[in-house]
Structure 1
Amino acid sequence: MANPINSTMIAPALTSIGRELGTGAGATLWLVAAMYMASALGQPLAGRLSDVLGPRRVFRAGAVLVAVSGVVGALGTSLGVLIAARVLVGLGTAAAYPSALTMIRDRARVLGLPEPAGALRALTATSLLTLTLGPGLGGLLVPWSGWRATFLANVVLGLLTLALSLGALPRDRQWGPVPWSRLDLPGVALFGAAIGLLMAFLMSLPTPNWLVLSGAVAVGVLLVAVEFRTRSAFLDVRMIARNRPVAATYLRFVLTFTVIYAVLFGYTQWLEQVRGLSAAASGAVMLLLSGVGAVLALSTGRCRSIRAPMLIGTAGMLAGSLAVVVVDATAPFAVLILVPTLFGFPQGLNSVTNQLAVYRQAPAGELGTATGLSRTAQYLGAMLATGLLALAYGEQATDEGLAVLGTVSAGIAGVLLLLTALDRSLKAHSAG
């Protein structure tokens, strides 16, 4: 819960933070970007640590980081300290998913159970249900106790997670010689630099800083070259290159979440700034997205192949994008709620089926790392969505900007539909 909640809970607090600290709106947006970058880096790092050190240790360490981030943020008196707190919560919450999935896989093997599709559905449904609760929770906390309460909430989340994990999680193997070389610290550093430069470029839009983009590309090329020659690479370029199905799955993650995050934030802004809905009312409308997504996520996996539900979800994305193109300030309320309802299909169906694909396609013994990279792909999509929103809206949401957002999203959905239809590996197994 802590990762999706924190990705959006900060939104209602940004104005208050900027006013108290004397910073502009552009500067406070780094509080959002910092968590995206930390999560994008932290997901594969936590996956690798789970494979090397043990998933329970990593899971609990992440919970401690979440609690510490809450203390740091609540006591912070400068934007730099608050950004550091957001980095800590990004790294801490990133530890949960890959380590949890590794524990589920290991437990299923011990018990002789088949592929735990039900557990994957439950994890995804939890994420979907809490993703759009963040703005509502922040909207309650800020008027009640100020923006610092949005950081203090993480103290509760971290300690509660730690308490619930005591005695409940399967034990890791005994400590022995730790193969630290498997962590590939140079690869981690290059990956972090590439992510940071990409985010800096996206934050410069709509007046792009091409020098920063050139730096991101150069570091990315160097990263691929170094990792290709590294035996235990942080970014397993060779595995991705020879495993085309998992590479295609990562691409689907990026494209899917570029559209989902762009609509989640962009449509909410439009509802408030153009349509005139209150924050509570727009939050209620967007709850349809997570509600429909959660119901579909829990029901996914009954089909013989995962391609069928994935195609249905992508078709819903295309239909929702086309609805975004035509909706305007005069649209009836029924049309307004149609958009998040349609986007609930890709959020529920595509999220689970793509994660099931990673579970099947990941090499033996590297599920934590592969899952972490899939979550990194998700946050790369979120970062690209930030740039897309900057291009479409600029400083203010408009009907024209929403139409641009819908047009680009429809194009991405069309490409995604074609890629999914042509991917034969998606029908190779039962989703049982």
Structure 2
Amino acid sequence: MVLGSILNPINSSMLAVALIPIGAAFGVPPSRTAWLVTALYLATAVGQPVIGRLVDMYGPRLLYLMGTALVGVAGGMAVFAPDLSWLIVSRVLLGIGTSAAYPASMFLLRSESERTGLRNPSGILALLSVSNQVISVVGPTVGGVLIETGGWHLIFSINVPLSLACLVLGALRLPRRSQLRTDPARGVDVLGMVAFAGMLTAFMLFLMGPGVEHAYLVGIAVVAGAGFVWWEWRNAEPFIDLRVLRGNARLLATYVRQLLAFTTSYAFLYGFTQWLQESRGLSAYQAGLLLLPMSGAAIVVTALTGRRAVVRGKLVVGALVQIAGCAALLTLGPSSPVWSLVVIAAVVGVPQGLIGLANQNALYAQADLDRMGSSAGLLRTFMYIGALLAAAANAAFYRHGATTSGLHGLSVLLLAVAVLLLLTTLADRSLRRVGRAVPR
């Protein structure tokens, strides 16, 4: 379960230092390589709920093995990619393949909980969370080392041995369907999937190339989105259960905060890293090292505050530090000293350790217990949408390269997003009660 769960974060984090080398290899600007990010998260945003439903129907073993095998195929395709389009297709396959491990793990944990009567068997949830954070820390540095050693192709080739290891361990250790309680009677909401995928794809196509000539894409996204909402509200077995939001404005506010926070987080990860390489003149390896303080700060903050269930203070502090980090980006230039880059990376890591955990705690306090699984899945969907918006922002401001003026423009946008995050947090008075002991 741990090995399968790291496939997505390692591919996300390593790519941050590979976008500039890939663009140089194919002669394309960052606005084009941003599709490598978009393709992964589009596929994941749609693929994870789909595979989650299939896991409930057919058990985790089959879906885990198929998904991790697809990761190896995608890695092999990327190594021999003749052009950027081929590489984008491989990222789509990679996104679908990496979507299997999380729902498979949740299914197995639930089954083990039913068997043993323990709510959290052996603390595996904590192990899964820590392993993902650690991989996010070392991913850019590992990617930089691989690129320095043998070129950008190596960051994709690592998927082949990881896939083989998952296949061997999965075949040996995962229980067969006959040993588990599955629900093959549950249907698959194909129409909801198509409408959701159409809405996101049309919207992202417009954001990646905005203009009057592409305005029809907005119309397609609106129509697909309206149809999606109409259908999901009426479907007994929806693709994404929007009924978790019925009369629950507090939960909707948490989803909005998740989207805002991760838009800034992902835009910084990819935008700052590209600027370090193209305008500051650092190598992929050096850029990867400079991201270590960011992820290190996130882990330290999580360790120090993770036991406290109170969320409002975490969200307020996280939003304020995000504002400070975005403002600090406006001071950077091609000759900025390395120490200032390290400080900014560390500062931006602080809200990453505060906000995600706080939103998760808020969700568990606000969601209907009968729809907790759907509510948690929707939180991840909003995170992926934030990643998609971040990719579109990077494409818009780096249309002619990862320049300092582009970084400053991106920083102004992210500053506005961070301020909006702060305002939505302050306006939500219900957060004062989340995590606080109720007096007798």
Query: Same fold, TM exceeding 0.5?
Result: yes
Give the 3 Å change call, closer, same or farther, for CA 349–247 of structure 1 in structure 2: same
Verify: 1:152 aligned to 2:157, yes or no: yes
Give the 3 Å change call, closer, same or farther, for CA 9–371 of structure 1 in structure 2: same
SS at match of 1:242: coil
Deviation at 1:281, TM superposition (A): 1.8
Asked if the contact 1:289/1:341 (under 8 Å) is kept, the reply is yes
* Equivalent in the alignment of 1:123: 128
Provide Cα deviations, 1:157-194, integer angstroms capped at 9, x if missing partner.
Answer: 2222334445656776646661242x211101111111
* Equivalent in the alignment of 2:250: 245
Kindly provide the amino acid, as one letter, of the partner of residue 428 in structure 1.
V
Distance in 2 (alpha carbons) for counterparts of 1:248 and 1:215: 26
Deviation at 1:344, TM superposition (A): 0.9
Among residues 226, 230, 235, which one is paired with 1:225 in the alignment? 230
Verify: 1:317 aligned to 2:322, yes or no: yes
Kindly provide the amino acid, as one letter, of the partner of residue 400 in structure 2.
E
Verify: 1:179 aligned to 2:185, yes or no: yes
* Equivalent in the alignment of 2:268: 263
* Equivalent in the alignment of 1:289: 294
Kindly provide the amino acid, as one letter, of the partner of residue 200 in structure 1.
L
Asked if the contact 2:232/2:239 (under 8 Å) is kept, the reply is yes
Deviation at 1:342, TM superposition (A): 1.2
Among residues 301, 306, 313, which one is paired with 2:311 in the alignment? 306
| Structure 1, unpaired ranges of 5+ | none
Deviation at 1:10, TM superposition (A): 4.2
Distance in 1 (alpha carbons) for counterparts of 2:288 and 2:49: 31
Verify: 1:371 aligned to 2:369, yes or no: no
Asked if the contact 1:71/1:152 (under 8 Å) is kept, the reply is yes
Deviation at 1:226, TM superposition (A): 1.5
Deviation at 1:224, TM superposition (A): 0.9
Report the count of equivalent residues.
Answer: 430
SS at match of 2:158: helix
Distance in 1 (alpha carbons) for counterparts of 2:237 and 2:130: 33
Asked if the contact 1:63/1:158 (under 8 Å) is kept, the reply is yes
Distance in 2 (alpha carbons) for counterparts of 1:104 and 1:208: 49
* Equivalent in the alignment of 1:385: 390
| Structure 2, unpaired ranges of 5+ | 1-5
* Equivalent in the alignment of 1:4: 9
Deviation at 1:122, TM superposition (A): 4.2
Kindly provide the amino acid, as one letter, of the partner of residue 335 in structure 1.
S
Distance in 2 (alpha carbons) for counterparts of 1:111 and 1:58: 24
Among residues 93, 110, 114, which one is paired with 1:88 in the alignment? 93
Distance in 1 (alpha carbons) for counterparts of 2:184 and 2:259: 33
Kindly provide the amino acid, as one letter, of the partner of residue 178 in structure 1.
P
Verify: 1:73 aligned to 2:67, yes or no: no
Asked if the contact 1:58/1:95 (under 8 Å) is kept, the reply is yes
Cα RMSD for the two superposed structures:
3.3
Distance in 1 (alpha carbons) for counterparts of 2:207 and 2:149: 33
SS at match of 1:357: helix
SS at match of 2:246: helix
TM-score (structure 2 length as normaliser): 0.84
Kindly provide the amino acid, as one letter, of the partner of residue 430 in structure 2.
R
TM-score (structure 1 length as normaliser): 0.86
Deviation at 1:378, TM superposition (A): 1.4
Kindly provide the amino acid, as one letter, of the partner of residue 297 in structure 1.
T
Give the 3 Å change call, closer, same or farther, for CA 293–161 of structure 1 in structure 2: farther
Kindly provide the amino acid, as one letter, of the partner of residue 153 in structure 1.
I
SS at match of 1:326: coil
Kindly provide the amino acid, as one letter, of the partner of residue 221 in structure 1.
A
* Equivalent in the alignment of 1:424: 430
SS at match of 1:397: coil
Among residues 333, 340, 344, which one is paired with 2:338 in the alignment? 333
* Equivalent in the alignment of 1:100: 105
Distance in 2 (alpha carbons) for counterparts of 1:309 and 1:118: 24
Q: How does 1:6-45 map to 2 (within 5 A)?
A: 6-10=11-15, 28-45=33-50
SS at match of 1:302: coil
Give the 3 Å change call, closer, same or farther, for CA 163–252 of structure 1 in structure 2: farther
SS at match of 1:215: helix
Distance in 2 (alpha carbons) for counterparts of 1:283 and 1:24: 20
Kindly provide the amino acid, as one letter, of the partner of residue 265 in structure 1.
Y
Distance in 2 (alpha carbons) for counterparts of 1:122 and 1:260: 23
Provide Cα deviations, 1:108-159, integer angstroms capped at 9, x if missing partner.
Answer: 5655556799755543443333235444444444454555433332121222
Give the 3 Å change call, closer, same or farther, for CA 174–270 of structure 1 in structure 2: closer
Deviation at 1:90, TM superposition (A): 0.2
Deviation at 1:384, TM superposition (A): 0.7
The percentage of counterpart residues that share the same residue type is 37
Distance in 1 (alpha carbons) for counterparts of 2:119 and 2:183: 32
